[in-house]
Amino acid sequence: MAGTGKAHLRDEGDTIMRVEDLVVEFPVGRNAKVHAVSGISIDLAQGETLGLVGESGCGKSTTAKAMIQLPPPTAGTVKFNGTDLTKLSGEALRQTRTDLQIIFQDPISSLNPRRKVGEVVAEPLNVWGPHDEAEQIAKVDAMLEAVGIDPAVARPKHAHEFSGGQCQRISIARALVLEPQVIICDEPVSALDVSVQAQILNLLEDLKAKYELTLVFIAHDLAVVKNISDRVAVMYLGKMCEVSEANDLYERPAHPYTRLLVDSSPQPDPFVEIDDMTEVNSELPSPITPPSGCRFRTRCDLATELCERVEPQMRKVADDHYVACHFPLLPVIEEAPFAEADGATDRSSDS
Amino acid sequence: MPGIRNFTLVIRGERRERDPSMTATSSAIGGRLNRDSDDLLVVEDLKTHFEVPAGMVKAVDGVSFSLGRGRTLGVVGESGSGKTVLSRTLMNLNLGSNVHSSGSAIFEGRQLVGVKPKQLRDLWGLDIAMVFQDPMTSLNPVVKVGRQVTEHIRKHLGVSKAEARETAIQLLRSVRIPEAESRFEAYPHELSGGMRQRVSIAIALACGPKLLLADEPTTALDVTVQHQILNLLAQQRRERNMAMVLVTHDLGVVAGRTDEIAVMYAGRIVEKASTKVLFSDVRHPYTEALLRSIPKTSNRNHTRLAAIAGRPPDLINPPSGCKFSPRCPYAQPKCFEEEPPEVNAFEDHLFSCHYPVGTEENKAAWDRNLAAGRPETVAVATGSVSEVDIRAKGEEILADLTTSEGAD
Ligand SMILES: Nc1ncnc2c1ncn2[C@@H]1O[C@H](COP(=O)(O)OP(=O)(O)OP(=O)(O)O)[C@@H](O)[C@H]1O
Ligand SMILES: Nc1ncnc2c1ncn2[C@@H]1O[C@H](COP(=O)(O)OP(=O)(O)OP(=O)(O)O)[C@@H](O)[C@H]1O
Ligand code: SF4
Ligand code: SF4
Ligand SMILES: [Mg+2]
Ligand SMILES: [Mg+2]
């Protein structure tokens, strides 16, 4: 059974990370399993920010964690600079940790409250070196300064003495201290107040430029994801729906689910009329027994018998804009190489 | 939804019969009522302070507003600005001996503040209802949802078991719970978050309240579910002519869903206007900062956001003068000394600021601060986020100014 295709993957030489056919399943009860991620492929070009959006439980965190083998996926490959991480173990896998870092949603609980900020940021250095104290302090100070915190003031304090936004800066400093190539940010601003959120988003943009970082940015807020991302991938129930350059995705969503997300996002503009009579079906099917064919079909207005039977493949609708839908909202300009579509057409071209 | 309208009328009629004292004005403050008979709720100089070892937390510190029947007021502000304490004070829910509430909140002629909760029991759940961010705070985890709805109906309306069940199913349908009959037997944990919130909304609406206080009702939910819940509230509100106070930190949520918006900062309303006016003619620097700091899908990616400098105020020892002054890019010496009075510009556009946005004085204040390298101003002007960076950029601006002056 095919995944949702790989037409959106770029030439391997142009990317530093390439995930293919990623599957992550969690056993639940007897004989049942949660199909958290079911055959996802995505890649990362050096220096870009990939946004991952989708509703709660669609598998964003699971995908991100599988990319750094925490835990390793049930199936699929994760190539980082040409090496398949899923084939590595022990020391070889451990060595990749310096290059791949992750930042979590809750800044306060992800920092050890009993340790001083200086120690918290230095933690990765104790494992990876340098071990020389003066060198460590110099690195810690440079990172704290980079995230906009005065090192002399912060180093001797405890994490709990800082606000949520400052704690998130500190955890960013800790992620940066090993000079990683890729940082995965799992909802880094979701727990923060709007005013602080803007500071962290701007900070991540600055750091990305300064340290030539590649970012994976996960959030459920569409506006936040658009703001920071170069490319955005929309996930639904363990599958990839649409992958596109950020602006085009929001201007011209090609997948019915993306359009639903865009239309549902609250606009901070009172002059935008809200249609509050149209009913949207917001109930997510179970990831234990996901729908056959297209997983979105139970909520899709355009669903047909084909959608129930055949899983849609990624197809190209514009430059750097791909969608996995039998009846996309934009005309398909290039068929998938191994499409098993029988009679699948796009709606816009038959009308 | 056919039926639901009639059903509400029946309930309300029934309830009136049972309790004719309902409309009596027990503690109206003289004259207030007659001034504007359209007002359902009139709040004046409301304060709620908490006594803690370090001092007095001035969580709500002099809030006044009025709300007409069937109108919607959005209350926005950053975390800790007092939104929840305000709505809980109106619901008389701030129980505890360290609470000091003063001022007045008059709902249909009845005083809500400073009276014993017992005296208001007949209002809660009937005329005034509340929906919380976490539906589990209002649902009992070990009781089936159907029973929770029917018990609420029976307690307040004293109808028979069968009638209550009929009504409850109709209510669950009205809040778009699919297969309402079978969901009746479900426990709250067996429902999704959005579904649970719909059940708590069904309970809140059960007795046809005249006022609904909704405190972040959709904050924990996905956008599609949020959209649906907000639609549901809007439809029910229209059908029942129910007034609503919608509390949220998300300006997007209130933009298209409210008649008016009150912006709170450090326990006060710093600006209040009709929703469209607030967005198009913002006067208070804090509101302006809030609006500029949110990312919008209508902007291109990588649009630089204007972050608000500094930290939220200490509510025990708030800054002197204007409470926003330590973070305000326009702050002048006067702001640190004198608390700005509330002014009513026109048509109920209220704000408290010495140098309101859009005025010449405001522009002059900005220029002065920039020329002086005030960090909060430089941060906004340059979009810098690091203290070190801001200091450096401030010096750059200063240097530029001096050289250009020298060149003149
Ligand atoms: N350790 C686990 N055991 C069992 N199920 C799990 C586990 N971790 C995740 N899941 C399930 O896998 C699915 C995907 O979860 P995941 O946390 O990746 O979603 P998400 O998109 O990050 O959601 P959110 O926006 O809520 O963070 C969900 O159904 C979740 O319940
Ligand atoms: N029982 C209490 N004792 C002491 N302080 C309290 C108490 N309840 C609330 N506060 C304080 O009152 C202030 C206002 O809190 P409130 O919960 O109203 O903020 P909010 O605007 O609702 O914020 P959020 O957006 O985070 O929900 C906060 O500083 C809070 O810590
Ligand atoms: S049209 Fe079919 S394939 Fe496309 S999203 Fe709807 S159900 Fe899926
Ligand atoms: S009074 Fe002064 S400090 Fe306060 S908001 Fe207005 S300009 Fe800023
Ligand atoms: Mg997650
Ligand atoms: Mg609150």
Pairing, β B211-215 against β A15-28: unpaired
User: Is residue A294 in contact with ligand 3, taking CB distance under 6 Å?
Assistant: yes
| Whole-number pLDDT of residue B192 | 81
Backbone φ and ψ for B361, nearest 5 degrees, come out as -60, -40
Q: Is the pLDDT of residue B16 over 60?
A: no
Percent of chain A with pLDDT over 90: 68
In the predicted model, what is the mean pLDDT of residues B357-377?
94
% chain B with pLDDT above 70: 87
pLDDT of amino acid B317: 94
Residue A300: strand, helix, or coil: coil
DSSP structural state of residue A69: T
Q: How many residues does chain A have?
A: 351
Nearest to B131 by CA among B178, B198, B67: B198
pLDDT at A338: 56
Q: Mind listing the pLDDT tens digit for each residue in A127-158?
A: 888 899 999 999 999 999 888 888 988 999 99
Task: For chain A, give the longest Cα–Cα distance.
Answer: 70
Whole-number percent of chain A with pLDDT over 70: 95
ipTM of the complex in this document? 0.88
The confidence score (pLDDT) of residue A298 equals 95
Which runs of E-coded beta strand occur in A29-168? 32-45, 49-53, 75-80, 83-84, 100-103
Whether the Cβ atoms of residue A255 and residue A328 lie closer than 8 Å to each other? yes
User: Directed axis angle between helix B387-407 and helix B360-371, to 10°?
Assistant: 100
Q: What is the mean pLDDT of chain A?
A: 90
B65 lines ligand 4 (CB under 6 A): no
Question: Cβ distance B354 to B334 under 8 Å?
Answer: yes
Does the beta carbon of B59 sit less than 6 angstroms from any atom of ligand 2? Answer: yes
Is pLDDT at B191 greater than 70 in this prediction? yes
Instruction: Give CA–CA dist B252/B229, Å, rounded.
Output: 14
Q: Which tops the pLDDT comparison, A68 or B193?
A: A68
Q: How high is the pLDDT of residue A112? A: 84
Of the two residues A280 and B199, the one the predictor is more confident about is: B199
Q: Give the separation between CA A202 and CA A186, rounded to whole angstroms.
A: 16
Given this model, what pLDDT does residue A6 score? 93
Among protein residues, the one with the nearest Cα to ligand 1's atom 24 is: A56
Q: Choose the closest CB to A264 out of B227, B296, B302.
A: B227
Confidence (pLDDT) at B23: 34
Q: What gap in Å lies between CA A61 and CA A69, rounded to an integer?
A: 12
Which of A257, A258, A281, A296 best tests ligand 3's pocket when mutated (most atoms within 8 Å of CB)?
A296
Measured CA distances, B227 to A247, B129, B259 (Å): 23, 21, 18
pLDDT at A349: 43
pLDDT tens per residue, range B28-46: 333 334 345 579 999 999 9
Helix, strand, coil shares of chain A, percent, nearest 5, are: 35, 25, 45
Dist. CA A12–CA A132, nearest whole Å: 39
pLDDT confidence of residue B405 = 53
| B222 alpha carbon, distance to own chain's centre | 20
Contact A226 B234 (CB under 8 A): no
Output the CA B215–ligand 6 centroid distance in Å.
7
Closest CA to B329 of B288, B380, B263: B380
Contacts of B403 (CB under 8 A, 6+ apart): none
Q: What does the mean pLDDT of chain B come to? A: 85
Kindly tell me if the per-residue pLDDT of A276 is higher than 90: no
CA angle B320, B321, B322 (to 5 degrees): 110
Chain B residues closer than 8 Å to A283 by CB: 178, 192, 194-195
How crowded is the C-beta side of A107, counted as CA atoms within 13 Å? 29
Task: Quote the pLDDT of residue B322.
Answer: 97
Lowest mean pLDDT among A73-77, A293-297, B134-138: B134-138
> Residue B42's pLDDT is what?
97
With an 8 Å Cβ cutoff, is A289 touching chain B? Answer: no
Q: Tell me the pLDDT tens digit for each residue of B61-117.
A: 999 999 999 999 999 999 889 999 999 999 888 667 899 999 999 999 999 998 888
pLDDT value for B95: 64
Residue A275: is its pLDDT beyond 90?
A: no
The tokens describing A184, both together, are 């995965």
**A37 pLDDT higher than 90:** yes
Range name among B136-140, B212-216, B288-292, B351-355 with the lowest pLDDT average: B136-140
Our mutation pick for probing the ligand 3 site, out of A259, A301, A327, A348, counting the most ligand atoms within 8 A of Cβ, is A327
Interface probe for B, chosen from A218, A220, A227, A299 (most Cβ of B below 10 Å), is A227
* Minimal C-alpha gap between A199 and chain B (Å): 5
**pLDDT score for B355:** 98
pLDDT greater than 90 at residue B190:
no
Encode A124-159 in three state secondary structure.
HHHHHCCCCHHHHHHHHHHHHHHCCCCHHHHCCCEH
Taking CA–CA distances from B277, the nearest residue in chain A reads A270
Q: Whose CA is nearest to atom 25 of ligand 2?
A: B79
Mean pLDDT (whole number) for B313-335: 95
Q: Which residues of A touch B224 (CB under 8 A)?
A: 55, 260-261, 264, 280, 282
Distances in Å between the Cα of A245 and the Cα atoms of A17, A235, A253, B304, B402 are: 17, 15, 11, 18, 44
**Residue B209 scores a pLDDT above 90:** yes
- pLDDT at residue number A142: 92
Question: Which residues have C-beta within 8 Å of that of residue A146, sequence separation ≥ 6?
Answer: A173, A176, A207, A210, B386
Does position A344 have pLDDT exceeding 60, yes or no? no
Of B224, B226, B383, the CB nearest to A260: B224
Average pLDDT over residues B278-296: 95
B256 with A272: Cβ contact below 8 A: yes
Contact indicator for A235, A40 with CB cutoff of 8 Å: yes
How far is A226 from A250, CA to CA, in rounded Å? 8
Distance CA A273, CA A280 (A): 17
Higher pLDDT, B7 or B221: B221
